[in-house]
Structure 1
Amino acid sequence: MQPKRDRCRTASAPPNRLASPSPALTAPSAATKLRQGPTWDDTTPPPNHWQEPRTTVAANGTTRLRALDQFIVKLCGRCNLACDYCYVYELRDTGWRKRPRVMPAPIRDQLVARIEEHVFRHRLERVRVILHGGEPLLAGARVITDFTASVRQAVTRSGAEVELALQTNGTLLTETVLDLLLDLDVRVGVSLDGHAEAHDRHRRGRRGRGPDAGSHAVVATALGRLNGPRHRRIFGGLLCTVDPANDPVSVFDALAAHHPPAVDFLLPHGTWDNPPPGTSHGRAPYGTWLCSVHDRWQEAGRPMRVRLFESVVALSRHGGGSSSEVLGTVPAAAVAIETDGTIVWTESLNAVAEGAAHTGGTIFSHSFDDVLRLPGAPDFGMTHLCRTCLECPLVSICGGGLRAHRFGRSQGFDNPSVYCGDLFTLIEQITSRPDQ
């Protein structure tokens, strides 16, 4: 299994396929039959939200990246929320404590130079730069403005297009901030776990009481601004972390009520040594939950893109790449850059051990090409999957899941995913439907 598509964590849909928002969904009930129809043009199904990466396949079947086209930039290394499932602050890696709160100007300048160097060397046509954190908006307007202007100018100078995106918890999306992001042409993905009860169960303020008890109200207000006529075109989508304790239909309806162009459902990170709640004894609560969401999505006329569901269909028909981080055998050509210039692989590896995501390089000591040649650079493809995965009839679709989710049992990564049963349940349901 490969550390695929942590893409990192920005929900987005192709901007040229969006239409006007559809009417709000009604509250869930047994008699409700939703037929909104899609708010996007589905006449030509696009299975991927991004281009296939450039890879090299060795004689033994190992796949390695030849170039990177996605750069996850940690502009701010701190957050104003304390979400209990956060893969930055709540897992095994504590390196964030030693890094600057905000990426300093010399590091930003060196990063821009490294991106320009890489784009020029590989004659890339298109790259994606994702502003991340922590909470990237805590970096402030000046930092965001200066960095986005510099990276856009550098990439354009190298002959490529750049797509700028920002993933936020939504609590700082004021009208002024949205105007700034609109002027900078930065697409905005917002983390939202559904209705107030579902969202506030995990996404709480740092003190967890009083006004910090939950963030849903302020995020919902911000989404109202983002979804208005002025800012709608930079609305990238919603990011929702799955919790089987929440009613799936109610969560879907709450998300759909904001008319997002796309929704990405994420599985909370875990390993066999530290499994997600409820996954023991052969149960598949996350897969069952996602199946219910998929049914509701179909019933509603697929009102937004859901890249997890679309990827299952695309992979079952055509194979190849996936736009979801937990499926497929083709890796995302992405790395993350911390506030101190450290270059790291997919951050889901923070669930494994201290430093497991580290490449061993920084933007001062290594070019991005150097990083791809490091001994610890990840290999992809079927050759690194365990026997259980290789013998599974669905392996070409799930690809073994995220590499981090395989870790444990004193066998390193030589295991199926801790979400194996959940992925099997979801894939089997979707591929068995006659309308797919």
Structure 2
Amino acid sequence: MVSHLARAMNNLERYEDALQQLLTIAKQGERDPLWHFRAGYSYYYLKQYEESVREFEIADQLDPEDEHTLMMLDRSRRGAKRNHKKPSVQRSGNGLGQVPFEDFDFSHFWEDGDYALQAYTAKPPTDELIAAVEQELGYKLPASYITMMKLHNGGIPHNVCFPTEEMTSWAEDHIAITGIMGIGRDKAYSLCGEFGSRFMIEEWGYPDIGVVICDCPSAGHDVVMLDYRKCGRQGEPEVIHVDQEAGYDITFLAESFEAFIQGLVNEDVYDTSEEDKQYALQIVASGLFSPLLAELCANVTEIEDMEGRIRTVCTRIVADKGYFAFHSDELSTLMYDVQFWLYTKSYPHTSEEQYLVAYERMIAFGGGFSTNGYAPAFITDWLGDRMRQGMIVEIDGILRFTDRTIEELHQQLKRIAS
């Protein structure tokens, strides 16, 4: 019964609890391959790979050639191998008497622009606020983190990249952060703020194993967390990257917050902007249109070579930005107009809700010719602006451009050499 309970806890990602249950029946489980498998499973997801290798090897001896055991044994051995490759980092802010960041120079660490000061940076936290935030989060914050926040409470650092030995959804060899959350509630990107740690765990589904301390450029699809699985809620946490795009996959970054901060490097180290730009230019020049966008362009008789004109506009966007994306600039707005006209020309009985669903299938997540993502707020803001300007009208729930807007758009497109 205890072994079954531990299995259930493993399935609920309560690996520490599962291991504690299993250790209470360790004597009875000595010759039981399931006991060793379940213990190995707990150790593996606690990233204690040496221990998981040991347990899976015993499970394999007791029940040879079990495919699940062999699969987990292989994963554990690879995890242990990765750990052996990691350089050891000396903790200084571990709460054991050393002075956090004793020799670290913060004079050029922060980029205090308007956005950083508005969204991240607050006044230094009081001891009372720190205690209240810790109670709300359910975790004791590292001494090095508190020390740093008392000097500068959250913000955007100058160095925003951290090297990794594993590929993530961001890059093959590093992750990037947007900012570091401060201690407080007032700023949107503070630990207990509007987009803080509890929001990311409760609304985005990140594992409840610690505290989210950094957001990333993916706008929610990956984060950096303090990981308390090994140390408990009062201990010194490791720092991890959690990748929602890969099923909340966890990548070890550093054994302490201080080591994480000291390991940040400038994005220039990974600058591939020219290669990215050339790749984006190839996409807009020859990438296949999505089936929907190709269908919409084929229905156009008013404008010659509609596909070529779209490629020309998007080439200019890449030339300006260095990558293929639509924001709120003039050329992006033109592309929002073009997509809306194309879609409502072919599907004239389109509501706002229907259009926002269809938008993804044109260029945002289209074929080879695709931005591979978009920020919905840009689309809803554009739509709201066009309605306030009287360029888009809504009649009985159906949206359409006015005749005058369509004529002006036609003239604008005809001036574009395809």
Q: TM-score, normalised by structure 1?
A: 0.23
Higher helix share: 2
TM-score with structure 2 setting the length: 0.24
